[in-house]
Amino acid sequence: MKINNILKGSLLGLVIISLTSNAFAETTISEEGQYIFNTLGFYLGGVLVAFMAAGFCMLESGLVTTKSVSTIGAKNIGKFAICSIVFFFFGYNLAYGIPEGGYIGSFNLWSDSSEMGTGYSDSSDFFFQVMFVCATVSIVSGAVAERIKIWPFFIFAVVMSGIIYPISMGWQWGGGWLATSGFSDFAGSTLVHACGGAAALAGVIVLGAREGRFGKKGEKKSLVPFAASSIPLVTLGTFLLWFGWFGFNGFSQLAMGTFDDVNAITTIAVNTHLAGAAGTVTGAVLTRLLGGKTDIVMMLNGALAGLVAITAEPLMPSPVSAIVIGSIGAVIMYFGTKFLEMQRLDDVVGAIPVHMFAGIFGTLAVPMSNPDTNFGTQLVGVISVCIFSFVLSYIVFKVLKQTIGLRISKEAEKLGTDKAEVGVVAYSIRD
């Protein structure tokens, strides 16, 4: 009896081992399985990037004065909706309808033509990509805050999301001339961040600084009249952006159906996080050493600059390299902020040094870890996208200024955009 039990147990064990071995040996899932996982990846990534819209809104709301907070809320929710609709009607196909090695796609609305062979549903791809559009326009919103009229900004959002951004990102992600030339920008240090930063620079130049922001000789005035409405809101916004970045970078792998893909996503998450952490610490150290105080705003913008810098290539660098890239991004942001102030350029949230300057650096740093790229090609891509975005944005802002008007009046600026533009006061003192 004991022998029989032993034999039965041994046979059962062999069967289990055999089945387990076969299961582990089978590492490839079906075509339908890959389709499901890839589609799920796009969806989850889109949800995470959608959180960045809230992050941008909170950050901008916290850095403007108390007289402009409601306006910022209106701008951000309006922009989010407008960009989504415009990208549906013609922005998506302007980017992805581009011929190989070409420059521009077609003005057609997006339609779902999902097939198993594409590897993921078209709807999931559209959902993911439309969130990138919204993020790009959000960069501009913060830089021009507190003096731009709402409806001219909405008109600019239409042009930015429907023409400027789709064309420039199509050069790379749509298979255009930058893609065929060997340019590399994994998740958009240039295609999203520098593109948005260049547009922001154009807006800041055309609009001019807020009244009283700088002295007659260019010196920066006391921040008291321009004090941030809520540092906790700025901090919350930064955390939301950081959280959304895991979707922004991680799911730019564009696949989640294989062993290599899921490993890549987690590697990207680690490098992204470390770059943001390094940027935060660098911002704290710089402000302490050079200013005597630990500036919370510079810490927060340091985090964002680190995240922007790693976005061009978050997969290939080692964790140590990611820390170095994030730190350098924060250094560039810090001195870039000082440079803009010297030029009397009033960027309310620091969008230009965070997104444009750090984004350019991150893109040019790609050849350090990716041997399939070179500095010359990266430089051509950066210059092309930034000049294209800046020039077209400058023209749009100028046309708006000369026609319907771009900036609120001095009286309205003194009163505050909340009362002048939306009629809703965000903060009121109650007895």
pLDDT tens-digit profile of 363-376? 999 999 999 999 99
Instruction: Give the pLDDT confidence score for residue 24 in this predicted structure.
Output: 40
pTM: 0.91
Domain spanning 30-422 has what CATH number?
1.10.3430.10
For the stretch 169-223, pLDDT in tens is 999 999 999 999 999 999 999 999 999 999 999 999 999 999 988 876 655 555 5
Question: 379-389 burial, b for 16+ CB within 10 Å, e for fewer?
Answer: eebbebbbebb
Confidence of residue 227 (pLDDT cuts 50, 70, 90): confident
Residues ≥6 apart with Cβ < 8 Å to 34: 119, 255, 257, 258
Q: Give the whole-angstrom CA distance, residue 198 versus residue 279.
A: 22
Query: Angle 388-393-399 (CA atoms, 0-180°, nearest 5)?
Result: 135
DSSP 89-105: IIIHHHHHTPPTT-S--
Closest by CA to 51, choosing from 278, 205, 243, 269, is: 243
Say what the pLDDT of residue 226 is: 82
CB 226 within 8 A of CB 297: no
Asked if residue 18 has pLDDT above 60, the reply is no
Residue 282 Cα distances to 159, 277, 287, 301, 355, angstroms: 36, 9, 9, 10, 17
Residue 220, helix vs strand vs coil = strand
Q: What share of the chain is helix, strand, coil (3-state, %, to 5)?
A: 70, 0, 25
Domain boundaries defined on the chain: 30-422
Sign of CA dihedral 122, 127, 130, 131: negative
The one-letter code for the residue type at 20 is T
pLDDT for position 27 = 55
Q: Does the pLDDT of residue 102 top 60, yes or no?
A: yes
- The amino acid present at 172, given as its one-letter code, is Q
* pLDDT band with cut points at 50, 70 and 90 for residue 26: very low
pLDDT reported for residue 356 = 98
Cα dist. 278→182, 193, 256, 295, 354 in Å? 29, 19, 28, 15, 14
Comparison of pLDDT for 186 and 428, the residue scoring more: 186
Which range of 98-102, 382-386, 419-423 scores highest in mean pLDDT? It is: 382-386
Predicted local distance difference test score (pLDDT) of residue 213:
86
> pLDDT, tens digit, for every residue of 125-143?
999 999 999 999 999 999 9
In the predicted model, is pLDDT for residue 382 greater than 90?
Answer: yes
